[in-house]
Amino acid sequence: MLEIAVESGGVPRAFLRVGGSSVAGQQLAIALGLGCERIVCLALSLTKDIVALQHQAEKAGAQFHVIPGARPLLGLVTATDDVIAFADGLFAARQTAQDLLSAQQAVLVQPVEQGLAAGFERIDINHAAAGAMRIPGRLVERLGELPADCDVVSSLQRIALQAGVRQQPLGQIGPGAAIWFLARSEREAHQIEPLWIRQHTGDSLPNNPSGAIASMAVRAFGPAMLHAGSGSGVLVVAAGVAALLAVIAGVFGFVAAGFGLCVIGWVLHEFAALLSRIESENAPHRVIAGGLFAYGWSIDALLVVLLGLAARPEHQMHAAERFFPALMLIALLRILAEVYSGRWSRWIGDRGVVAVLLLGAVAGRVADETAHLGAIAAAVLALLALGNKSRLTGP
């Protein structure tokens, strides 16, 4: 955390942000994921950004230390420890880094042309550093033989290679590979954001309408929301408000408007789900999967209520008769989404599409017929699918 980023107004490399994640926060998430019990930050002073990292580390059960250089590190590491070190400014995909560093002690390296072009230091004629290593703690003692102002990570890397710690190739880094780069300026950090977001939301648009709209929204507005710190939580609240307004609209007789609000709420739900994947990369505690799961069931219940309210009174004598066809339709759609796989499952499970179709039925004054015929069609499709599976698996 000692290096200042280029053209950043004095911001250290460690606190450059990619898709809402700071470089230091990403490194901390990797270290905690690898089971590190002691986190050591190289910094000249304790800033509010470092304090935030300290709280995150201590919440995960790790000790946190801030030291200005190499000498204090000698008293924090024992010979039996494993030391995991990251270069200042290294921003790497969490799962990739954990896979490379979890198995055994190694210094990560990469082809020299690739590494030098990305700003990493040369190790030998064929290799450049990759900015991360896992080495035995006994090697840290050798820092005591070096000047107090030495580059700690670079020095440890040289010491480890001289001691015979094996080199682990990082592999070729390209547009389709996992993110692994050295953040040197805000411009470089912003340039990598589109690829970072695509890797967490899928390179291609989902094959259902709501997912496609949400994916485009994440790529267009996700970085700004993540940098602002709002993220998926705000979207979940907005989706909940849309659902509440849909209930109010249905109670007051504006059923078509209620279905329209369900469409908006479901797209916001999909937007939040995609954004939460990015947030979970360096802050797993922020994942809101439980809330998103509950929202899916809430929308189903809301569709049943709205479709029941849309039934013409002269065709329905009792409340049970009003809501039973709607309940059967939505329940069978949920079963169909489990029975089928691939594209069909995603289309059937897209409650935005279902709400649009029901909105059309209400506008065309055929809500009753849609509920009855839709439930029958869903039941027939479910039976056919189950029959096909039974025939394929045999008795």
| DSSP secondary structure code for residue 202 in this structure | -
- pLDDT above 90 covers a percentage of the chain that reads 46
Q: What is the mean pLDDT of residues 267-276?
A: 89
Collapsed DSSP state (helix, strand, coil) of residue 180: strand
Q: How far apart are CA 84 and CA 175, in angstroms?
A: 27
User: Which 3-state string (H, E, C) describes 36-84?
Assistant: CCEEEEECCCCCHHHHHHHHHHHHCCCEEEEECCCHHHHHCCCCCCEEE
| Average pLDDT over the chain, rounded to an integer | 85
At 266 the pLDDT is: 95
Q: What is the pLDDT of residues 326-378, one digit of tens each?
A: 999 999 999 888 887 777 788 888 999 999 999 999 999 898 889 989 999 98
The total of other beta-carbon atoms located within 10 Å of residue 241's CB is: 14
pLDDT at residue 38 greater than cutoff 90: yes
Q: What is the mean pLDDT of residues 380-394?
A: 68
Task: Take residue 205 and report the two structure tokens written for it.
Answer: 């648009």
Q: What is the pLDDT of residues 201-220, one digit of tens each?
A: 765 556 789 988 988 888 88
Torsion angle of C-alpha atoms 149, 74, 59, 50, degrees rounded to 10: -10
Q: Are strands 127-136 and 106-111 parallel, antiparallel or unpaired?
A: antiparallel
pLDDT at residue 106 greater than cutoff 60: yes
pLDDT at residue 395 greater than cutoff 60: no
Between 112 and 278, the more confident residue is 112
Q: What is the pLDDT of residues 141-187, one digit of tens each?
A: 999 899 888 899 999 999 999 999 999 998 655 545 568 989 888 88
Q: What is the mean pLDDT of residues 4-16?
A: 74
Which of 120-129, 205-214, 264-273 is least confident? 205-214
Specify which residues 110 forms β-bridges with. Answer: 128
Q: What is the mean pLDDT of residues 106-129?
A: 92
User: Residue 109, exposed/middle/buried by CB under 10 A (0-12, 13-18, 19+)?
Assistant: buried
- CATH 3.90.550.10 assigned to domain 13-186? The reply is yes
Residue 328 sits at the vertex; the CA angle it makes with 322 and 334, to the nearest 5 degrees, is 140
Output Rg (C-alpha) for the chain, integer angstroms. 27
pLDDT at residue 238 greater than cutoff 90: yes
Query: 133, 107 in Cβ contact below 8 A?
Result: yes
Q: What is the pLDDT of residues 282-336, one digit of tens each?
A: 555 454 556 777 888 999 999 999 998 887 665 555 666 788 889 999 999 998 8
Q: What is the mean pLDDT of residues 61-71?
A: 92
At 277 the pLDDT is: 79
At 285 the pLDDT is: 46
pLDDT band at 199 (very low <50, low <70, confident <90, very high): confident
Which of 7-16, 282-291, 383-392 is least confident? 282-291
At 122 the pLDDT is: 93
DSSP3 helix / strand / coil % (the chain, rounded to 5): 60, 10, 25
Highest averaged pLDDT of the listed ranges 41-45, 133-137, 214-218, 332-336: 133-137
Q: Which residue has the tokens 């479709």?
A: 307
